[in-house]
A and B are shown apart, each in its own frame.
Chain A
Amino acid sequence: MTAAVEAPPARRPQSWLKPVSLHGGWRSAIWFLLPALIGFVAFYLYPALRGVYISFTDWNLIANRGDWVGTDNYERLLDDRQVWESLKITFRYTIINIVSQTILAVAIAVLMDRLTKSVLIRGILLFPWLIPNVIVALLWVWMLDGNLGVVNEFLGWFGMEPVRFFTDTDKVIPTLAGINTWRHMGYTALLIFAGLQTIPKSLYEAAALDGASEGQMFKDVTIPLLRPILALVLVITVVGSLQVFDTVFVATGGFGGQPGGPANASRVIYLYIYQYAFDFNQLGYAATVSVLLVVILLAITFLQLKLLRAGESDLA
C-alpha cells in the first residue's frame, strides 16, 4: 500500500487533505460518490429532516405549503384514540405474523436441511416472495371469497361453514396476516436454511454419540447456534409487518369495500397515515404520526437486537 506510486500525470499533488493516499482523497472520490450523494441527500437526508419539520406545520398538499403550528399536531396525537386503535391493529397483525411465519419457516428449513438442497425446491418456496403484494392480494381475495372462494369450498368438505374472511371484523387481520405468511414463509425459511448450513456437523455427531435425541439436538444445538439468524429474521418480520400497506389497501379496498375495512378493522398504521395525508389532506398531522412510527420502529429494532444479542452466536 505504501509503495510509492507515480500519480497519473493529470493529477496534482494534494496539500489540503490529511491522508495523502494512493488513490487521491476526495478529489477523485467525489466523482464516484456524487450521484449517490445527490440521491442520498435529496431523497433520504433532506426529506427525513423535512418530515420532522412538516410534522410541526399544517401542511396542505393542494397549496403545497404549511404554517408552523408548534406542538399542536403532537398534542392532537396524544388525544387521538384512533391512532392507538390503529397501532393496536398493526401490532395484532405483527404478532400473528411473527408466530406463524417463524414456526413455519423453521419447520421448512429443518425439513429441507434433512431432505434436500434442490435449487428447484428452494426456487418454488421463494417464488411467492417475488410476486408484487398487489397481485398476491388479488390471488387470495379471489381464493378466499365468501361466496365463490375455493378455500371455503375446501373447508366445506370438512363440514365447516363458509368463513367471511374479509368481511368479518374479527377475521380480516388474521386473514391478511395469513396471506403475508404465505408470501414470506419460503423466503424466511431460506434465510434460516442458510443459517443451518453454518452449524458444524461435528456438533451433531458429538451429540448423537452422547445419545441425544433429535428433539434434544434441535433444542440444544440448532436453536442456540441459529440465534443470530433468528434475531435477524425477527427484526425483518417485525419491521416489515409494522409497515404493511399494499396488501391491506388492495384486498380491503376493492369490490365496493373501503381500504382498511370493514369498519376500520384493518386500518393499519400505514393506512392511517395515508388517509390523513391523501384523503384528508392533512399532511402535517400525517407526518406527526409517521414520526411516532419511526420512534416505535427504532425502539423495537434496538430492543430486539439487544435482547437477542444478535451479533454473537454460541459458536464463537
Chain B
Amino acid sequence: MTNIADRIENLGSALEPSARLRRLGIGRGAAWLILIAILVVSLFPFWWALRTGLSTNGNLFAGDQSLLPVGYTDNNFERVLGTASEAEILESLGRENTGSFDFLQSLKVSVIVATAITVGQVLFSAMAAYAFARLKFWGRDKLFFLFLSGLMIPPIFTLIPNLVLVKNLGWLNSYPGIIAPFFFMTPFAVFFLRQFFLGISREVEEAALLDGAGNFRTFFGIIVPMSAAPIATLSILTYITAWNEFLWPLVVARAPERQPLTVALGQFTAQQPGTSPDWSGLMAGTLLAALPIIVIFLIFGRKVVDSIGFSGIK
C-alpha cells in the first residue's frame, strides 16, 4: 500500500507545485519529531526503572537524576530474588530491610495461574465457538447472544457473589479459587474464535464428515490446525490478561504464598514507609515482574500488534 500522503503530495504538486511541496516537507519533519517524542515517552519509564533498579538507595536519596545508574549495583535484583547477603542488602538498601515478599514463590503462582487459565479458557472457548459457528441445535443463536451479553457485566458485579461461592467451596487461598472464574470461558474468547471459524470454508470439513469423522475429529483434526494463528493470538492475549489480573486474586488470595506477582507487589508497596521507601528494590522487583510479559511481547509482538483492530474489544 503506497502512502496516502505521498499520493496526495503527487497530486497536489501537480496542481500547485512549490507551495504544497514545501508545506508538506516541513510538516513531515515535524511530524516525525512528534512521533519520536511520543515513542520516547512510551519507553522512558522502563529505562528509568532499570536505571533506578541498578542504583543504590543512598545515591537516589541524594537526589542524583543522572540518566545512568547512580552508584551502580546489581544487589537490588539479587535482593528481590532472595540471593543477596546481609551485607549486600545493607549496601543497596541503606537501612534494615523492612518489607519483603517471596518473589520466586509469587512468580510460580503467576506462571501456574496464567498457564492454567490460558489452556482452559482457550480450549473450552474454542469448543463452544465451534458449536456456535458450525453445529445446529435448538436455541443456538439465543444462547450465543446470552453468552455475548456477559460482556456487559462489569467484573465488580460478579466479584462479590463469586467470592461468596468460592468461599463456600472452600477455595479461598487456593489455585482453583484464583483460576476457576476465568478457566472455562470468557464471552470475548468465544466471540473472537467464532468469527474465525465462520470464515473457514465448509468444504474440507464436510469432506471429513463424509469420510465418517465425528465432530470431535473434525474439530481437532481440521478446524483447530486451520485456526492455529488466531488461536495463538488469543492465547497470548489471554496469558497477558491473566498475568495482569489484580482485583480477583487480591480478594481470593490473602495468604502470601498464593499471591501472584501483581498482588504481592501491591502488598509490598503498601508496606513501604512514607519516608525513604526502598525505591531501588521496588523498581528492580517491578521490572522482574514485568519481564515475562516483555519476553512474550518480544517473541510474539507482531501477532499482538496485528490483532489490535480486529474487533476492538480486546
Which A residues have a C-beta under 8 Å from some C-beta of B? 3, 5-6, 8-10, 17-19, 21-26, 28-29, 31-33, 35-40, 42-48, 50-51, 54, 59, 61, 64, 107-108, 111-117, 119, 121-128, 130-135, 138-143, 148, 150, 153, 182, 185-187, 190-191, 193-195, 197, 201, 204-205, 208-209, 211, 214, 229, 232-233, 236, 239, 243, 245-246, 249-250, 253-257, 270, 273-274, 277-278, 283, 286-287, 290-291, 293-294, 297-298, 301
Contacts and interface: CB of A to CB of B under 8 A. Distances in A.
Given A127-B297, A133-B244, 7 more contacts: A51-B157, A54-B161, A111-B34, A114-B28, A121-B39, A150-B65, A294-B153
Nearest to A247: B246
Given A61-B164, A115-B32, A298-B152, A36 B125 contact: yes
B216 A46 contact: no
Contact of B164 (A24, A59, A254): A59
B244 A47 contact: no
Contacts of A108: 35, 38
B272 A114 contact: no
Contacts, number: 332
Across chains A and B, which 3 residue pairs bring their CB atoms closest together, nearest first?
Answer: A39-B184, A194-B309, A256-B274
Given A36-B185, A130-B304, A204 B127 contact: no
Contacts of A194: 308-309, 312
Contacts of B206: 3, 22
Nearest to B251: A278
A148 B61 contact: yes
B235 interface: no
Interface of B: 1, 3-5, 7-8, 11-12, 15, 27-28, 31-32, 34-35, 38-39, 41-43, 45-46, 48-49, 52, 60-61, 63, 65, 120, 123-125, 127-128, 130-131, 134-138, 140, 143, 146-147, 150, 152-165, 167-168, 180-181, 183-185, 187, 190, 206, 209-210, 212-216, 219, 240, 243-244, 246-247, 250-251, 261-263, 265-266, 269-270, 272-275, 277, 279, 282-283, 286, 289-290, 293, 297, 301-302, 304-305, 308-309, 312-313
B290 A44 contact: no
Nearest to A195: B309
Which DSSP category, helix, strand, loop or mixed, fits chain A's interface? helix
Contacts of B305: 119, 122-123, 126, 190
15 contacts: A17-B137, A33-B143, A40-B150, A61-B167, A111-B31, A124-B43, A127-B43, A134-B266, A182-B41, A182-B42, A191-B312, A250-B266, A274-B247, A290-B156, A290-B159
